[in-house]
């Protein structure tokens, strides 16, 4: 009787250890992505969305106000310094994660302003 009870306890202990170990392994290796909110800016053909509009978003570009003002100013300075405007098309940007580098390298697409 004692042997059966010890065998059952050891088996239960091993099962619990396996479940805990696999759960910890899953949490360490699973890609957990935060749900973030995105906004969209649509730039029509022959439309100029330059640094001035980033500094003072108006009209349908008012959504740019969801970007932190300090970051928005840095983007405007980047655009002005490189003579950039937003490229034509639909551009989505993250309004939860305020990351200047992500904005200029991934979210927004720029092109040079032709004179």
Q: Under a CB-based contact definition with an 8 Å cutoff, are residues 43 and 87 in contact?
A: yes
Compute the average pLDDT of residues 88-111: 89
The pTM score is 0.66
The domain locations on the chain are 1-32, 38-112
* Residue 77, pLDDT score: 96
Q: Are 92 and 40 in contact (CB under 8 A)?
A: yes
Query: Once rounded to an integer, what is the mean pLDDT over residues 19-25?
Result: 86
Mean pLDDT of 33-45: 78
H or E element: which one contains 89? strand 89-94
- Show contacts of 51-56: CB within 8 Å, 24+ apart: 51/75, 51/76, 51/77, 51/79, 51/80, 51/84, 52/76, 54/79
* 83 Rama sector, left if φ>0, alpha if ψ -120 to 50, beta otherwise: left
Q: From CA 16, how far away is CA 13, in angstroms rounded? A: 5
Mean pLDDT of 20-49: 78
**Paired residues of 85 in beta bridges:** 111
Handedness of CA 8, 11, 17, 23 (dihedral sign): negative
């Amino acid at each position: 009787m004692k042997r059966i009870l010890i065998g059952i306890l050891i088996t239960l202990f091993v099962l619990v250890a396996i479940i805990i170990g696999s759960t910890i392994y899953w949490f360490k290796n699973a890609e957990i992505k935060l749900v973030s909110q995105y906004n969209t800016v649509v730039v029509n053909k022959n439309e100029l969305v330059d640094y001035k509009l980033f500094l003072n978003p108006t009209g349908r570009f008012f959504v740019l106000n969801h970007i932190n003002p300090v970051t928005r100013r840095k983007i405007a300075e980047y655009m002005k310094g490189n003579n950039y405007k937003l490229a034509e098309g639909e551009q989505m940007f993250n309004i939860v994660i305020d990351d200047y580098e992500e904005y200029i390298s991934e979210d927004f697409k720029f092109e040079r302003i032709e004179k």
